[in-house]
């Protein structure tokens, strides 16, 4: 039998860093690595899982590369289930390339995407769902994403297993009906079966909604600062950031394009977007800017509607505010140093919107506004439900197929054979989430999206 290859790759991201990690895994990992270690005997005699300091050199060029720490793992007690060495070196790219080159010259081969995790899968250390969970943990960009990955990693898939059982049982009911359709008992079952089907459809529909809300915040919460021209939007943007990022000026129409920055608020990534002020204009560039503002409002999670206390509220401004649907809106009545802003206050109160009076020029009450924003962000996150069936994008795509096939099953309920056909399709799609070991195509599509070194 052909021996499996010993693979090597950098596990940390490319570029310059204080430290980098290189992994080597396969039957010859320890032997190959020892060829590159100056203190070979110390390395060979070192206990497994113990971190020791060595000098690494190129065995052919006889050139020293770096001082490293290395840890040996003996099969099967390693992440991949193979012999493994983890090398921690200084994080310069010449060093990393030099070490990888030394290991390649000593008999290792370069790892492809996800090859280490694939070894772990092939050696039975993890199953496909756990491999996906690892990928999910690496790629997660927000807390709910990470929670999904953790759930999968810890095998918390009772809802998924339960769904599988329910679809299987529904299928037996339907097959039985096709086989023995005339019997009374079966007819009774049939009504129950249809109810079961509706419940399953509802459940998958809810899961798809949950995924949608998570995907929606994967790139951070979008906080849009919008409102009429010259109200103090850019001043607020700068105040939140703490530095003069956007131009502010008494001339209306200063901000023409959207300007954005990312910051962390209570540990969550927030993209703050300062927009062109809204007004009637014949100026083409400004018009384009205003269109971008309207689009930003559409995509926003939170809208801070900044409006000047000394300007009266026009009908079109009222209409714009009323038309912001499905977002958290906070009215910011600014320039209260020159006017009491009662008219605008009355409007926000009437529309049951949260509002806030300030003088940004004097930096008044920024802390209070920030604490409101924090609360809104907290509410957005706490209202998110973590999926129990569809844990990632691949599952979501499969979930959509299952949903469509179940809808067709229900639609064709009275044409038993056709209904059974769609139900079978739904079941097969569900099997794909679990991923049969021999389904090379599924495995390839998952591992191709891994990074090299994992």
Ligand X SMILES: Nc1nc2c(ncn2[C@@H]2O[C@H](COP(=O)(O)OP(=O)(O)O)[C@@H](O)[C@H]2O)c(=O)[nH]1
Binding site for ligand X (CB under 6 A): 229-235, 248-250, 254-255, 277, 306, 334-335, 337-338, 359-361
Q: How far is the CB of 309 from ligand X (least distance, A)?
A: 8
- Whose Cβ is closer to Mg ion: residue 234's or residue 307's? 234
Residue 249 touches which of Mg ion, ligand X, none (CB < 5 to 8 A by kind)? ligand X
- CA dist 279 and 253 (Å) reads 9
- CA dist 140 and 218 (Å) reads 8
Residue 361 touches which of ligand X, Mg ion, none (CB < 5 to 8 A by kind)? ligand X
Residue 51 CB neighbour total at 10 angstroms: 11
- Whose Cβ is closer to ligand X: residue 297's or residue 430's? 297
Q: How far is the CB of 95 from ligand X (least distance, A)?
A: 48
Residue 250 touches which of Mg ion, ligand X, none (CB < 5 to 8 A by kind)? ligand X
Q: Give the three-state DSSP class for 201.
A: helix
- Whose Cβ is closer to Mg ion: residue 90's or residue 279's? 279
What residues make contact with Mg ion under the rule CB under 5 A? Answer: 233-234, 255
Residue 260 touches which of Mg ion, ligand X, none (CB < 5 to 8 A by kind)? none
Q: Residue 332 class from Cβ within 10 Å (0-12 exposed, 13-18 middle, 19+ buried)?
A: buried
- CA dist 166 and 200 (Å) reads 8
- Whose Cβ is closer to ligand X: residue 248's or residue 293's? 248
- CA dist 343 and 341 (Å) reads 6
Q: How far is the CB of 328 from Mg ion (least distance, A)?
A: 22
Q: How far is the CB of 315 from Mg ion (least distance, A)?
A: 23
- Whose Cβ is closer to ligand X: residue 117's or residue 334's? 334
Residue 50 touches which of ligand X, Mg ion, none (CB < 5 to 8 A by kind)? none
Residue 135 touches which of ligand X, Mg ion, none (CB < 5 to 8 A by kind)? none
Q: Residue 3 class from Cβ within 10 Å (0-12 exposed, 13-18 middle, 19+ buried)?
A: exposed
- CA dist 205 and 151 (Å) reads 20
Q: How far is the CB of 361 from ligand X (least distance, A)?
A: 3
- Whose Cβ is closer to ligand X: residue 26's or residue 277's? 277
The pair of structure tokens assigned to 448 is 């191709």
Q: How far is the CB of 309 from Mg ion (least distance, A)?
A: 17
- CA dist 411 and 54 (Å) reads 68
The CA–CA distances, whole Å, from 294 to 10, 20, 172, 226 equal 45, 45, 52, 9
């Amino acid at each position: 039998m052909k021996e499996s290859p010993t693979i090597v790759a950098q596990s940390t991201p490319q570029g310059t860093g204080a430290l980098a990690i290189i992994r080597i895994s396969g039957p010859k990992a320890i032997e190959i690595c020892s060829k590159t270690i100056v203190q070979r005997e110390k390395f060979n005699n070192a206990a497994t899982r113990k971190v020791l300091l060595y000098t690494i050199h190129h065995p052919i060029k006889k050139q020293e590369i770096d001082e490293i720490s290395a840890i040996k793992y003996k099969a099967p007690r390693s992440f991949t289930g193979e012999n493994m060495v983890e090398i921690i070196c200084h994080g310069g790219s010449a060093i990393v390339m030099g070490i990888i080159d030394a290991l390649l010259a000593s008999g290792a081969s370069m790892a492809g995407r996800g090859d280490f995790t694939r070894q772990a899968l092939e050696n039975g250390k993890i199953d496909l769902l756990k491999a996906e969970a690892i990928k999910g943990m690496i790629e997660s960009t927000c807390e709910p994403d990470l929670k999904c990955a953790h759930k999968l990693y810890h095998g918390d898939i009772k809802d998924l297993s339960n769904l599988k059982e329910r679809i299987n049982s529904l299928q037996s009911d339907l097959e039985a009906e096709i086989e023995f359709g005339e019997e009374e008992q079966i007819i009774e079952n049939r009504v129950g079966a249809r109810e079961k089907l509706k419940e399953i459809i509802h459940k998958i529909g809810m899961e798809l909604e949950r995924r949608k809300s998570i995907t929606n915040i994967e790139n951070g919460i979008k906080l849009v600062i919008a409102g009429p021209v010259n109200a103090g939007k850019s001043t607020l943007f700068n105040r939140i950031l703490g530095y003069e990022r956007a131009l502010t000026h008494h001339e209306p129409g200063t901000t023409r394009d959207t300007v954005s920055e990312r910051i962390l608020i209570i540990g969550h990534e927030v993209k703050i977007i300062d927009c062109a002020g809204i007004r009637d204009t014949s100026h083409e560039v400004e018009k384009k800017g205003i269109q971008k503002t309207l689009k930003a409002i559409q995509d926003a999670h939170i809208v801070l509607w900044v409006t000047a206390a000394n300007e009266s509220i026009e009908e079109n401004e009222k209409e714009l505010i009323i038309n912001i649907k499905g977002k958290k809106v906070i009215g910011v009545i600014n320039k209260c140093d020159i006017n009491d802003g009662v008219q605008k206050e009355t409007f926000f109160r009437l529309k049951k919107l949260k509002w806030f009076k300030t003088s940004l020029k004097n930096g008044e009450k920024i802390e209070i506004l920030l604490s409101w924003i924090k609360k809104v962000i907290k509410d957005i996150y706490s209202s998110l439900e973590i999926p129990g069936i569809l844990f990632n994008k691949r599952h979501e795509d499969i979930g959509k197929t299952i949903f469509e096939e179940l809808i067709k099953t229900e639609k064709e309920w009275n044409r038993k054979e056709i209904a059974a056909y769609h139900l079978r399709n739904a079941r097969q799609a569900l099997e794909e989430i679990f991923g049969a070991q021999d389904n090379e195509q599924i495995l390839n599509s998952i591992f191709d999206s891994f990074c090299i070194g994992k």
